[in-house]
């Protein structure tokens, strides 16, 4: 996989735009990351 600037991403990773800390809810089968993403979309849409 390559970044837009043409450099590889192997063994580098990408910093997230929004950090979502790990919680025990992640182990309960809840998709905390998806829930946060949906919440942010609603905020941007003023819903």
Tens digits of residue pLDDT in 23-39:
898 899 889 999 999 99
Q: Would you list the domain boundaries of the chain? A: 18-47
38 membership: H or E segment, kind and range: helix 32-45
Is residue 38 within 8 A of residue 30, CB to CB? The reply is: no
Structure tokens at 7: 């450099």
Q: Determine the pLDDT at residue 17.
A: 87
Write the pLDDT tens digit of every residue in 5-20. 667 767 777 778 889 9
Q: Between the CA of residue 34 and those of 5, 12, 31, 41, what are the distances in Å?
A: 28, 24, 5, 11
Length of the chain: 47
Is residue 23 within 8 A of residue 41, CB to CB? The reply is: no
What mean pLDDT is reported for the chain? 83
């Amino acid at each position: 996989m390559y970044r837009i600037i043409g450099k590889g991403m192997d063994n580098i990773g990408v910093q997230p735009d929004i950090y979502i800390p790990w919680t025990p809810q992640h182990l309960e089968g809840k998709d905390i990351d998806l829930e946060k993403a949906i919440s942010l979309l609603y905020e941007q849409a003023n819903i």
